Amino acid sequence: MGKKEELVKKLRSSGRKDYIRLADSIENDLDYYHDMRTSDLPKGKTELAIKKGNANQHLDEIVDTSYDAYYSKHIQPNLKDEKGNGNIDYRDRQGFDPSKNFDDRKYRLSSVEIDGPKPIIGLGPTHFGQFHRDRKIPLEKRLELMEKGLDEHGDPWIYFARPCGVAVVHVSSEGNVWIGERTRGDDEGPLNAVAGQIDYYGIEGFNPYKNGDNESFEEYGISLDIKNTPHQFVGISSNPTLGDCDFVFVVYSGKPDSYYESGEWANNVKAQGRNPEHKQPLYKISSKKECIDLLEKGIVPGAKRPFAVMYSTRLGLEWLSENHFPD
């Protein structure tokens, strides 16, 4: 029995619904895993409760992964100073330039509890360097680490950074969805909504809404206030063998189709001094059938080839196909 088969068997035998769902994704070589969907939650408005969770465990030594202990012992001592010493950059550093530098501190998805009236999300501290390390691990080794975590700690993700991001699927004033081919980073190529990692401001400052606003401005040139704009939080979706995840929103932007179709969005991005993170043109999805064709076949109207769909964009499209587009 291979590593994949062993891991799938153990995930299924755990009896946990979320691990069984993860087993399905791994067994079928899917490129998405939904940690939480609106169908998992009580009906009505979704409000998230945030609590301090755990960082990832180290392979070379057992460390205290509780939020405060890990930050003080493994994040704080490695923050860069004004001379560039340290390997974790952060926005409060003297000389930090947000137009050139990134805050390497990230939130880690530690746990998702959905059995009560309000979902409780556990977050731990991590940093980009840990996630960059994870990305270099070959698939077979990732599966081995997931099995090790499950065997030794009851958690297949315990050795992974699992940084949290946000994805915002835009719906126009005419009710159509607009997404584009990603052009930047290691995930270049798939169709993707507006997306990016969530900025770190401590446990009290966790705010996926604010980051969704920022990413919508930076990538689509639209100033949004998602909390006060018609929207739906549709869940959390992740890579099933790496664990990086997005909090996913569908937002009714108020912008007409012409804004997305004409390229005005790209002009607004360039006016900020930024290079667009999506190729032109963006693609329009205007019916349930088109939504399902993209999810199941990678086919989108106007495209000359089939596309992969980013895991978090997929979750948004699944919600739209079930709740937005008429049958």
Note down pLDDT in tens along the chain; length 327 residues: 688 999 999 999 999 999 999 999 999 999 999 999 988 876 665 788 999 999 999 999 999 999 999 999 999 999 998 887 999 999 999 889 988 889 999 999 999 998 777 889 999 999 999 999 999 999 999 999 999 999 999 999 999 999 999 999 999 999 999 999 998 655 558 999 999 999 999 999 999 999 999 999 999 999 999 999 999 999 999 999 999 999 999 999 999 999 999 999 999 999 999 999 999 999 999 999 999 999 999 999 999 999 999 999 999 999 999 999 997
Regarding pTM above 0.85, the answer is yes
Residue 155 lies in a domain: no
Residue 270 lies in a domain: yes
Q: How many domains would you assign to the chain? A: 1
182-196 pLDDT per residue, tens: 986 555 589 999 999
Range of the structural domain that residue 239 is part of? 164-323
308 Cβ partners below 8 Å, 6+ apart?
31, 189, 190, 191, 298
φ/ψ of 303, rounded to 5, equals: -90, 150
**Interatomic CA distance for residues 234 and 169, integer angstroms:** 10
Residue 263 lies in a domain: yes
CA distance to 142, 276, 300, per residue, from 112 (Å): 21, 33, 33
Please calculate the CA angle 135-140-141 and round it to the nearest 5 degrees.
Answer: 60
At residue 47, the pLDDT reads 80
Residue 3 lies in a domain: no
Residue 48 lies in a domain: no
What CATH number is associated with residue 197? 3.90.79.10
